[in-house]
Amino acid sequence: MASKYFGTDGIRGTVGKAPITPDFMLKLGWAAGKALGDQAGSKVLIGKDTRISGYMFESALEAGFSAAGVDTLLLGPLPTPAVSYLTRTFSARAGVVISASHNPFADNGVKFFGADGRKLSDDVEAEIERLIDVPLECVHPAGLGRATRINDAAGRYIEFCKSTFGSEANLNGLRIVVDCAHGAAYKVGPAVFRELGAEVIPIGDQPDGLNINKEVGSTYPAALQAAVKLHRADLGVALDGDADRVLMVDHEGGLVDGDQLLFVIAEHLRARGQFSGGVVGTLMTNLGLEQALAARAIPFARANVGDRYVVAEMVRRGWMLGGETSGHVVCGHATGTGDGLVTALQTVAAVRYSGKTLAELSRGYDACPQVLVNVRIAEKVDLDEHAAIHAAVAQAELAMGESGRVLLRPSGTEPLIRVMVEAQNADAATSHAHAIADVVRDTLSE
């Protein structure tokens, strides 16, 4: 059954338009409080990024949880993976993040973690959706939830990140540019690298509530590439608005995406005898990564797009590494969810231990040319109902044979149809991707 509110990464949309409204958030808090178990003595954590609307939604969710009899611990601006980590350490029933990740400031959303620090199951999300549509019944006044602000949350998370790097190593002598996207990691991001000994040059660390992801961060890596070259840094780290994903830049200004990060980390762990299992990617993962891992006898599997599906597949197989091309990487030996800072630290560890530059390490495999075209749509559609789109895909697949592949999928976070074509030849990938996108655009505009 299709979800009414939840997408691949929580509930997200434009502020002021349903469902991203204060009244809905109050009801969502109440419904989540009811769905997540017994009210007596239960507690949830609430973190947020730096969007101006986060204050409004934090208050609304807090009120909803209180009406359900659930206590809230308010963390303030903090990365999404920090909320995941602290949910476990505080033995909370759930963690809530108010963020629209890499989207512009006018959007916002909510995502949940269960007591284990992982995204909620589809069944729990379905129960929350069911309760949203029933009348709100406030608990007896004596049973209302209380709210407490946790003042040392950032410090706890910084120490956790540092612990994943290894106590025997440091970053002394490295110059690192850290782009915080004017988002949730604007304080903790530079602090983690600085406390490990690096010379840190922060950019995108001046949030004003309106500038999150604006021409900075992992969705705009040009700012980091320019800064790395300007400051002659050893490498750069580009986080997104809620810091659960990361892209990196080598000393030459070259961009290192999530597939390359997976390769670098897997090779690093394998060289140190610390790798077990295999690597989980997604339907969007570059074929070149799969081939490079196979050449090193490292198993590879694909999951549906979305970090929750990557984690589920990792858990099912008992594997320790997985992620997405976008930089949403899960280092299962260190944490249970996508964490931009932990991923960056694992990558920097590979640089430190190998004695090689990030540019050298990330060239370990040949990526197949991959072209992604986003087609904006007015509302959700079922692609299976459109024969013209199927015909366009079939024509491209026939022309490429086994040397390429096509993937069409609706975005789970934006009103888009993503058209991806991968081929041995860049011109062929570009031509087929735009041809299919044109058919999608023409068909869905009829």
Tell me what percent of the residues of the chain surpass a pLDDT of 90: 83
Give the pLDDT score at 54: 98
Please give the positions annotated as active site: 101
Distances (CA, A) of 200 to 47, 224, 231: 25, 13, 10
Ramachandran assignment for 349, one of left (phi > 0), alpha (psi -120 to 50 degrees), beta (any other): alpha
> Which superfamily does 11-151 belong to?
Alpha-D-Glucose-1,6-Bisphosphate, subunit A, domain 3 (3.40.120.10)
Cα separation, 255 vs 252, whole angstroms: 9
Tell me if 11-151 shares its fold with 157-362. yes
Average pLDDT score over the chain: 93
The distance in angstroms from the start CA to the end CA of the chain is 27
- In single-letter form, the type of residue at position 265 comes to I
- Averaged over 195-222, what is the pLDDT? 97
| Class in CATH terms, 370-444 | alpha beta
Whether the pLDDT of residue 320 is over 70: the answer is yes
- Averaged over 151-180, what is the pLDDT? 93
Spatial contact of 84 and 95, defined as CB atoms under 8 Å apart: yes
Give the pLDDT score at 405: 87
**Spans of all domains in the chain:** 11-151, 157-362, 370-444
Angle value at C-alpha 91, between 85 and 96, nearest 5 degrees: 55
Give the pLDDT score at 40: 53
Is the Cα dihedral 290, 292, 297, 298 positive or negative? negative
H or E element: which one contains 31?
helix 22-35
90 band by pLDDT with thresholds 50, 70 and 90: very high
- For 209-265, how does the pLDDT look when each residue is reduced to its tens digit (9 = 90+)? 999 999 999 999 999 999 999 999 999 999 999 999 999 999 999 999 999 999 999
409 band by pLDDT with thresholds 50, 70 and 90: confident
- Averaged over 406-431, what is the pLDDT? 88
- Averaged over 24-45, what is the pLDDT? 87
DSSP for 309-366?
HHHHHHHHHT-SEEE-TTS-EEETTT-SS--HHHHHHHHHHHHHHH---HHHHHTSS-
Cα separation, 217 vs 241, whole angstroms: 7
DSSP for 191-249?
HHHHHTT-EEEEES----SS-TTSS-STT-THHHHHHHHHHT-SEEEEE-TTSS-EEEE
Estimate to the nearest angstrom the gap between the alpha carbon of 215 and the chain centroid: 18
Cα separation, 307 vs 98, whole angstroms: 17
Spatial contact of 165 and 192, defined as CB atoms under 8 Å apart: no
Radius of gyration for the alpha carbons in the chain, expressed in angstroms and rounded: 22
Spatial contact of 284 and 257, defined as CB atoms under 8 Å apart: no
Which CATH architecture fits 157-362?
3-Layer(aba) Sandwich (3.40)
Tell me what percent of the residues of the chain surpass a pLDDT of 70: 98
